[in-house]
């Protein structure tokens, strides 16, 4: 039987549709076979000890274990390196799984106490537009602390570098930003660019120092006037800098000490004797032994001879007569 032209076209279309359906079924089955199966277990981080809020997380208090995937919290921590240095914000018992709800990365929103490095102290000092580097020192920068002291009794002014490579934790109420806060969101396409804000001068700066450095900083702020010297990014060097005295800086030599009247022997302290070079001063230590007594002085012939007598002078004042003997 010979097919007509219309019948031949219908058979060809039917065969094409059947071939397409078979190809689609094959490809779908192959894609499903290549798709990986979801894991039935996951690795989570848990705490090995109890921890109260405010405790900083360290690797020694962490461990990992494998749990079924349906039992792991959605925000569970999967690696111990991920939470190193984070802070506990909710009570944790031994064996609890760490999540972003009970541990958190330190940030400005949590307060300055969570940003103070281990073993350091936060000390705030007063600044002005000059001593605060014109407000250009920002949280996270490193500075040197230079102090100037006036010594009125000695008529001296001394400037020296008190501390070096000190981290700035906060300037005024602005604290160290976190990595997330440092990321700037680019402006939307077509939006006008925002003008850059000018530096704002803050009245105080909070520095991260050791307990020993804290005492030096407080004394320098109390007895002298301090300034901050801003360091270049990444500069952690330490330089031996001698103090500067005003007399040495201007090339002026101070006047010598005024001479003091020598004290009588009875007024000098025991064990001290007059200095042979500086009148009125004494030298410490035992007095030197007395030397031999000098020989008696013989009177000179001129001294033993009687002095010549001068003639008397008569003075008349009216009727009175007076004799004056020189």
pLDDT band of residue 32 (cuts 50, 70, 90) is: low
Q: What local confidence, expressed as pLDDT, does residue 146 receive?
A: 92
Q: How far is CA 220 from the centre of its chain?
A: 13
Between CA 216 and CA 163 the distance in angstroms is 8
Query: How many angstroms separate the most distant Cα atoms in the chain?
Result: 200
Q: Which residue has the higher pLDDT, 69 or 175?
A: 69
The arithmetic mean of pLDDT across residues 32-38, rounded, is: 63
Read off the pTM.
0.50
DSSP code, position 40: S
- Spatial separation of the C-alpha atoms in residues 70 and 81, rounded to whole Å: 24
- Give the count of beta carbons closer than 10 Å to the beta carbon of residue 173: 10
Mean pLDDT along residues 82-106: 87
pLDDT at 26: 81
pLDDT band at 212 (very low <50, low <70, confident <90, very high): very high
Q: Which CATH number describes the domain made up of 41-105? A: 3.90.1210.10
User: Which of these, 123, 131, 115, lies nearest to 203 by C-alpha position?
Assistant: 131
CA-based Rg of the chain, rounded to a whole angstrom?
Answer: 47
Cα 29 to Cα 26: distance, rounded to the nearest angstrom? 5
- Please check the confidence at residue 94 and state whether its pLDDT lies above 70: yes
Contact by Cβ (8 Å): 61, 92? no
Does 165 score more than 90 pLDDT? yes
Q: Which pLDDT score, from 0 to 100, does residue 143 have?
A: 92
Where is pLDDT greater, at 26 or 269?
26
Please tell me the predicted confidence (pLDDT) of residue 185. Answer: 47
Q: Quick one: pLDDT band at residue 210, thresholds 50, 70, 90?
A: very high
Q: What is residue 116's three-state secondary structure?
A: coil
Judged by DSSP in three states, 109 sits in helix
For residue 78, what are the contacts with CB-CB under 8 A and spacing of at least 6?
A: 42, 43, 44, 45
In this structure, of 24-28, 166-170, 269-273, the range with the lowest mean pLDDT score is 269-273
pLDDT band of residue 156 (cuts 50, 70, 90) is: confident
Average pLDDT over residues 99-126: 82
| Residue 85 in this model has a pLDDT that exceeds 60 | yes
pLDDT above 80: residue 299: no
Of 137, 122, 129, residue with least CA distance to 171: 137
Average pLDDT score over the chain: 74
Q: How far is CA 6 from CA 2, 3, 13, 15, in A?
A: 12, 8, 11, 15
At 207, the pLDDT band (50, 70, 90 cuts) reads: very high
Q: Supply the pLDDT for residue 181.
A: 47
* Residues near 163 by beta carbon (within 8 Å), at least 6 away in sequence: 144, 145, 207, 209, 213, 216, 217
Domain ranges of the chain: 41-105, 118-178+201-250
Specify the DSSP element, H or E, that contains 153.
Answer: none
Q: Give the 3-state secondary structure of residue 114.
A: helix
Confidence of residue 199 (pLDDT cuts 50, 70, 90): very low
């Amino acid at each position: 039987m010979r097919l007509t032209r219309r019948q031949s076209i219908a058979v060809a279309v039917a065969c094409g549709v059947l071939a397409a359906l078979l190809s689609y079924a094959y490809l779908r089955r192959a894609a499903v076979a290549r798709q990986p199966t979801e894991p039935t277990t996951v690795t989570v981080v848990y705490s090995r000890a109890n921890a109260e809020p405010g405790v900083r997380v360290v690797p020694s208090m962490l461990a990992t274990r494998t749990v079924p995937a349906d039992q792991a919290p959605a925000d569970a921590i999967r690696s111990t390196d991920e939470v190193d240095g984070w802070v506990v914000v909710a009570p944790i018992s031994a064996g609890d799984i760490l999540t972003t709800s009970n541990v958190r990365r330190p940030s400005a929103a949590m307060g300055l106490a969570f940003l103070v490095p281990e073993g350091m102290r936060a000390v705030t000092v007063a600044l002005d537009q000059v001593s605060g580097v014109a407000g250009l020192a920002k949280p996270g920068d490193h500075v040197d602390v230079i102090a100037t002291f006036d010594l009125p009794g000695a008529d001296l002014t001394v400037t020296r570098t008190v501390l070096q490579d000190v981290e700035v934790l906060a300037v005024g109420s602005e604290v160290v930003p976190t990595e997330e806060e440092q990321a700037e969101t680019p402006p939307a396409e077509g939006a006008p660019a925002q003008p850059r804000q000018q530096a704002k001068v803050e009245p105080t700066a909070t520095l991260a120092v050791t307990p020993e450095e804290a005492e030096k900083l407080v004394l320098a702020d109390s007895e002298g006037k301090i300034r901050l010297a801003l360091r270049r990014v990444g500069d952690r060097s330490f330089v031996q800098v001698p103090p500067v005295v005003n007399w040495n800086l201007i090339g002026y030599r101070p006047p010598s000490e005024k001479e003091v009247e020598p004290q009588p022997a009875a007024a000098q302290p025991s064990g001290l004797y007059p200095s042979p070079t500086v009148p009125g001063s004494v030298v410490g230590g035992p007095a030197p032994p007395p030397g031999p007594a000098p020989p008696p002085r013989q009177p000179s012939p001129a001294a033993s001879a009687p002095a010549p007598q001068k003639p008397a002078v008569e003075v008349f004042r009216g009727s009175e007569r007076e004799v004056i003997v020189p």
